[in-house]
Amino acid sequence: MKRFKVFCVLMILFFTMTNYSYALQQQQNDSVGKHSFIINEEVAKSENITVENLTIELSDEETKEQTEKGIIINGQGTAQEATVAEEIYKKNTLSSSGNATVRAELADLSMNSLTAEVQPFEVGETANFEFEMANYGGTTAFNTYVYLTIDDDNIGGFNIGSILPGYTYTFPLMIDGITEGTHEIILNATSISLETDYSNNIIGEDFVWQGVPDLVAKSFNTVSGDTSFVEGEAVAFTFSVKNEGTGIAEGIQNYLLINGQEFAILSYPSLNVGSTLTCSFSLTFNSPSDYNLQLYVNKDHSIVESNYNNNTKTKAVTIISEWAYLDYGWSTTTIPIQPYSYNDVWQTPMDASISNWNDAVGLEVTFYKDSSCNNTVTAEYRPEEWYGLYDPNESGNELISFDITLNSRRISEDATNVSNFIQSVFVHELGHSIWLRDNPPTGLDSIMYHFRDRNTMTEPQEYDIDAVNAKY
């Protein structure tokens, strides 16, 4: 339901309505199922993307304004009865030879016409009217009120004082705040004086208000809120578009662009003022890469809007190759490790290695020490050529426990920065416990590469963080 305020001005005099609301029932759109979602097959093939699980919802929101104002006439309050001076209004003496003749003894108010300067009115602009009222009776109509009704809703009334017999009066009327559509404006005149005929006291006319839509891309995101996903897994997206303008939008086209290419078009019949269109769908990215998605509403400007600067939203996602992962990993995002104790040369960088994972910006996993767990870390002299060894105990895809061994001999022999070297090896081995495989198929920096510089790379890289988050 819509509410609006009405303001009427009578030449020099003016008034405002008291404790009113105007209700307009929004037209219900039953065309939710009459949409279309067209895929650009060429782009879908070149980007290796498939679409599924498309759903569309429509919600009508009520825009409500509550305004309370007292009637004001010529700057005076409602308790003041105004007597209309003759020089205030345009008036003409009635001709007794015409169709309207003056009838003696009683008053007879008549609403003769209600006209508008222009039609249709623009929503949001003041609608200017003029109405003509006469007193066909032989006596004055004292304490005359005119009541305004819009679409059967009583808006309020205003006192125009005394209407002299044998005269016509022309009044301006200004109304603000009416919503889009055709509305009936009704004026009804009454007074405290008796009348010979009450049937001519009312007049009603239909007038049209036209609005301008404003389609706003309100949101565009993944349903989970994540930005990293594994290749071949369906990624659920949702977006919403709201009409914040004053007119109905018809023939809406929502464009979905991927890496600058038009991937799909969602066409929708119409969207009422204040209504929100929500669309959910899933995309399966079958090639690892970074993808920039853009929602662009009314991209071709086929719908005239009051503002085109709020029609877009973007979302970037990273798709990680399935070959970046082992077949097993820790099942939760909190991974326990048995406490260990070494001299400062080893203890400090080993503790720093755990912090390097835990402090990584945006990472969703945490390592912590727990003496009751079976996951061990050992630093010892080993004759083998490896720097670190990860020994998992898995069952299917689930990692039951793991043992990590740091080869103190090889690390000490090859390190130019022992602390950094220890961190690089330990951070790498911890990566295996959270699914990460050696030498991932990416050209980006990774702590999981064997050929990294262990004297300088001590933390998980952005690719590693994205890969872990995508898995969990």
Residue 157 banded pLDDT, cuts 50, 70, 90? confident
CATH number, domain 334-471, options 3.40.50.2300, 3.40.1360.10, 3.40.390.10, 3.20.20.70: 3.40.390.10
**In the chain, where does the domain assigned CATH 2.60.40.10 lie?**
7-16+64-210, 36-61+213-320
- The tens digit of pLDDT for each residue in 388-440 reads 999 999 999 999 999 999 999 999 999 999 999 999 999 999 999 999 999 99
Q: What is the Cα–Cα distance from 230 to 128, expressed in whole angstroms?
A: 62
- The tens digit of pLDDT for each residue in 105-133 reads 899 999 999 999 889 998 888 888 899 99
Mean pLDDT for the stretch of residues 142-162: 86
Residue 63 banded pLDDT, cuts 50, 70, 90? very low
Beta strands 141-150 and 153-163, pairing class: antiparallel
**In the chain, where does the domain assigned CATH 3.40.390.10 lie?**
334-471
What's residue 74's pLDDT? 29
7-16+64-210 folds as: Immunoglobulin-like (2.60.40)
> What phi and psi values does residue 420 have, to the nearest 5 degrees?
-65, -40
Q: Is 160 in contact with 145 (CB distance < 8 Å)?
A: yes
Mean pLDDT for the stretch of residues 377-389: 97
Q: In what order do the strands lie in the sheet with 228-230?
A: 36-39, 261-271, 249-258, 289-297, 312-320, 228-230
Lowest mean pLDDT among 71-75, 110-114, 357-361, 413-417: 71-75
The pTM is what? 0.69
What's residue 30's pLDDT? 31
Q: Which residue has the higher pLDDT, 72 or 335?
A: 335
Residue 75 banded pLDDT, cuts 50, 70, 90? very low
- The tens digit of pLDDT for each residue in 182-225 reads 999 999 999 999 999 999 999 999 999 899 999 999 999 999 99
Segment 140-143 long-range contacts (CB within 8 Å, at least 24 positions apart): 140/107, 140/164, 140/165, 140/193, 141/107, 141/109, 141/165, 141/191, 141/193, 141/195, 142/191, 142/192, 142/193, 143/81, 143/191, 143/192, 143/193
Name the CATH architecture for the domain at 36-61+213-320. Answer: Sandwich (2.60)
| Token digits of residue 223 | 């349903």
Q: Is 404 in contact with 429 (CB distance < 8 Å)?
A: yes
What's residue 384's pLDDT? 96
E-strand ranges in 40-107 read: 49-60, 90-93
Alpha-carbon Rg for the chain in angstroms = 38
The one-character DSSP state at 305 is -
pLDDT at 17 over 50: no
